Amino acid sequence: MIGFKLQILWHFLLFRWQRRKRYNQQSLHQLRATKENRWRKNLQKSSFYKALSGQPLSQFPIMDKSSFMTHFDDINTVGIAKEEAFKVGLASEKSRDFSPTIRGITIGLSSGTSGNRGIFLASQKERAIWVAAVLDRVIGFSLRKRKVAFFLRANSTLYESVNSSLLQFQFYDIKSDMAQHCQTVAATRPHILVGQPSVLMRIARYFEEKQIAARFEKVISVAEVLEGDQKAYLEKVFKIMIEQAYQCTEGFLAHTCKAGFLHFNEDWLLIEKKYLDEEKKRFHPIITDFLRTTQPIIRYELNDIIHAGEPCSCGLKTMQIAKIEGRSDDVFEFVDDGKTITIYPDFIRQAVAFSSDVIDNYVVTRRSEKKIGLFIEVSEGDFLNAYGKAESALQSLFEIFGIPGITIIREEEQLLQRGVKFKRIRNESRQTI
């Protein structure tokens, strides 16, 4: 364990030493190029990438979750079979004991249905690098003892690695009793609160209802899209800037800068853009991670819909993320006279959010080709009036896009299901165009 802690310290100091390079474009490119040279040597251990290790990156295939999982056994460099990894990961999910590893390699599963789950592998060195990066860019370093309340679907040795004499890490299982969790957080007063927006909203409402003064030093949003109204409410209750950490199975992708904006970690990530619209406003990020060696992540296309931001006032030369709009899985696509009509999540959000001031939360679900489910939640005011306005706003939106015959049905739904990521815009029809 002492050796592992020293690894964390070494990589943390390295990140700190390299910090200034992120404020200079040329130095940033040189830093990434140095990491790339070391990374290419490691590809000799991957039977899938060995023959490509000396080729330009453009010659590598673009991967998605399906192809990545199909070639899992050949891609990873430590000889772990997908079936073996999935068995260990699933057993941990069921037992809620996330300590088991395979030959010292941490195993984790992404959220999703059992047939569409991603599996991530991380060596001790990669765990140390992850912890160092999180300390450097998310939690921050301090010589004071601090407590961190971490709300997640699943724990992992990756997260437990944050524990130290200065940092007390407490994992809260979101599949457990949230009412009890809220009471515990209020009583123990952690310095740092980390959780998905739907969980943070639950805690904030508890603090507001009980008139508890929030004294968090940091509140960090993870795992779900942080909506603008959620951010505003959380900042009002917690009286602090809400930071974000953009992380998924494929790695630690972005962090919040001192000016409050998300930035890709381009000192070790190469980001290619696959544009989704003619205006080149929205894109899928295609990521290559030069720090992942156990399970190389190369030209991996995420289906998150990203909006790039302008150069940031903080001075970082890494790409700013103006918005994470959602996932392409939840884009609504309709066919009319052989023409595909696309409605991105932002249009739907704006239609509902601006229809009534009393709507606190909502879910819009595409159930089938022409059937849309609408759920709203109001804290005060006339529910039926608010629902009618939201329904009319959606019908007007569909008419503007030239989509006739849409039926909107009222739905009763629990907004926060334990262990499930909350999404306001959902496409359950999964229609193939």
pLDDT band at 379 (very low <50, low <70, confident <90, very high): confident
Half-sphere exposure of 330 (CA within 13 A, CB side): 20
Task: Please state which of the ranges 22-31, 115-124, 387-396, 423-432 shows the lowest mean pLDDT.
Answer: 423-432
Q: Give residue 156's pLDDT.
A: 56
pLDDT for 194 equals 93
How sure is the predictor about 228, in pLDDT bands with cuts at 50, 70 and 90? confident
- CA-to-CA dists, residue 277 to 172, 284, 336, 366, 426, angstroms: 40, 11, 19, 21, 20
Confidence (pLDDT) at 155: 58
DSSP for 312-351, please give it. PTT---SPEEEEEEEEGGG-EEEEETTEEEEE-HHHHHHH
Of 93-97, 394-398, 417-421, give the lowest mean pLDDT range.
417-421
Give the model confidence (pLDDT) of 206-223 as tens digits.
999 999 999 999 999 988
Look at residue 166 in the predicted model and tell me its pLDDT. Answer: 78
Please tell me the predicted confidence (pLDDT) of residue 424: 85
What pLDDT score was predicted for residue 160?
Answer: 61
In this prediction, residue 81 carries a pLDDT of 94
pLDDT greater than 50 at residue 432? no
- What is the reported pLDDT for 152? 77
**pTM score of the predicted model:** 0.82
> What is the mean predicted confidence (pLDDT) over 373-393?
89
**Dist. CA 60–CA 67, nearest whole Å:** 13
The letter for the amino acid at 104 is G
So what's the pLDDT on residue 433? 36
Q: pLDDT per residue over 144-161, tens digit each? A: 899 999 887 665 555 565
Q: Can you give the pLDDT at residue 307?
A: 93
Task: Among 112-116, 159-163, 347-351, 376-380, name the one with the lowest average pLDDT.
Answer: 112-116
Pairing of β 282-289 and β 269-275:
antiparallel
**More confident: 228 or 236:** 236
Six token digits for residue 408 = 């909107």
Write the secondary structure of 23-91 as one string of H (helix), E (strand) and C (coil): HCHHHHHHHHHHHHHHHHHHHHHCCCCHHHCCCCHHHCCCECHHHHHHCHHHHCCCCCCHHHHHHHHHH
pLDDT of residue 425: 87
Binning pLDDT at 50, 70 and 90, where does residue 177 land?
A: confident
d(CA 114, CA 126): 26
- Helix H or strand E encompassing 408: strand 407-410
Residue of 20 and 327 predicted with greater confidence: 20
pLDDT of 56 above 90: yes
Cβ-contact 346, 282 below 8 angstroms? no
CA distance 194 to 177: 17
- Mean pLDDT, to the nearest integer, of 326-341? 82
Confidence of residue 163 (pLDDT cuts 50, 70, 90): low
State residue 1's pLDDT score.
60
pLDDT band (50, 70, 90) for residue 287: very high
What is the reported pLDDT for 113? 39
Average pLDDT for the chain: 87
| pLDDT band, very low/low/confident/very high, at 94 (cuts 50, 70, 90) | confident
pLDDT at residue 115, rounded to an integer = 43
Q: Write down the pLDDT at residue 52.
A: 95
Q: How far apart are CA 272 and CA 22, in angstroms?
A: 18
**Which pLDDT score is estimated for 101?**
84
Architecture per CATH, domain 331-427, reads as: 2-Layer Sandwich (3.30)
Q: Tell me, what's the pLDDT at 390?
A: 92
For the chain, percent helix, then strand, then coil, each to nearest 5? 35, 25, 35
Distance CA 80, CA 103 (A): 9
Give residues with Cβ within 8 angstroms of 187, minimum separation 6: none
Place of tokens 């800068």: 257
User: pLDDT tens for residues 266-275?
Assistant: 999 999 999 9
CB distance 226 to 182 below 8 Å:
no
% of the chain exceeding 70 in pLDDT = 91
| pLDDT at residue 278 greater than cutoff 50 | yes
